[in-house]
């Protein structure tokens, strides 16, 4: 089921790239759902939605599970199978994408140092013809990941348990455009309290 208020997420348009934020986990190592954790005075889910919208994604969808909360500026997709791992959230998000979009840019709520400029870089290579793209840091592919519509069914089929798009990126690397983002973003994620303290300090220091 898809619910929510798109707010300032933007209207759908021909050739549009939707933003898909995965935020369904319980944050077992943190002791609370990551979507609700605050960094820089903002919930991770809100920061992720804002980043995707500011980067040019429209519409923006967010997959929720352990925490069912309202999210301004996004359509919310409830994943009842969130406890089985990230793969179920990838599948739920793909299933909810509107027919009008040409591609989707997938990001994770627990990576708050991904920036709108990183999103814009992936959207630019898509506009230039790339049908799959991934942000890289020190040469390593991480997130976000952009997938053209023709790749959705393949990713949907392999997204199980805690597996997302990574096997697709490896198997079809010849189809994937890599986009360096070291200078504008970081893939640092928040899994533990120590991570939260470190990443919050990096955000507050900007």
- CA dist., res. 37 & res. 196, Å (int): 9
**185-to-20, 93, 95, 97, 101 alpha-carbon distances in Å:** 18, 24, 29, 26, 25
pLDDT of residue 196: 94
DSSP 29: T
Taking 60 as the threshold, does the pLDDT of residue 9 lie above it? no
Per residue in 67-96, pLDDT (tens digit) is 989 999 999 999 999 999 999 999 999 999
Q: What is the mean pLDDT of residues 198-204?
A: 91
Domain boundaries defined on the chain:
2-204
What is the pTM for the complete model shown? Answer: 0.92
The residue-averaged pLDDT of 97-108 equals 97
pLDDT for res 163: 82
Collapsing DSSP to helix, strand or coil, 3 comes out as strand
DSSP E strand boundaries for 24-176: 38-39, 42-43, 60-64, 75-78, 101-108, 132-137, 140-148
The CATH number of 2-204, from 3.90.550.10, 1.20.140.10, 3.30.559.10, 3.40.50.970, is 3.90.550.10
Give residue 3's pLDDT band: very low, low, confident or very high (50, 70, 90): low
* 197 has pLDDT over 70: yes
- Per-residue tokens: 53: 């919208």
The whole-number pLDDT of residue 1 equals 59
């Amino acid at each position: 089921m898809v619910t929510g208020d798109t707010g300032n997420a933007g209207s759908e348009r021909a050739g549009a790239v939707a933003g898909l934020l995965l935020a369904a986990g319980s944050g077992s190592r943190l002791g609370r759902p990551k979507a609700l954790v605050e960094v820089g005075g903002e919930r991770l889910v809100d920061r992720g939605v804002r980043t995707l919208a500011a980067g040019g994604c429209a519409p923006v969808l967010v997959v929720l599970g352990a925490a069912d909360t309202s999210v301004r500026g996004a359509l919310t997709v409830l994943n009842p199978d969130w406890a089985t791992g990230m793969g179920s959230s990838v599948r739920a998000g793909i299933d909810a994408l509107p027919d009008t979009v040409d591609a989707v840019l997938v990001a994770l709520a627990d990576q708050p140092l991904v920036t709108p400029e990183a999103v814009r870089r992936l959207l630019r290579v898509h506009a230039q013809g790339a049908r799959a793209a991934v942000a890289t840091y020190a040469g390593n592919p991480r997130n976000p990941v952009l997938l053209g519509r023709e790749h959705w069914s393949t990713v949907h089929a392999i997204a199980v348990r805690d597996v997302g798009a990574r096997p697709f990126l490896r198997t079809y690397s010849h189809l994937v455009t890599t986009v360096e983002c070291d200078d504008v973003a970081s893939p640092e994620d928040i899994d533990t309290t120590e991570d939260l303290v470190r990443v919050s300090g990096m955000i507050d220091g900007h």
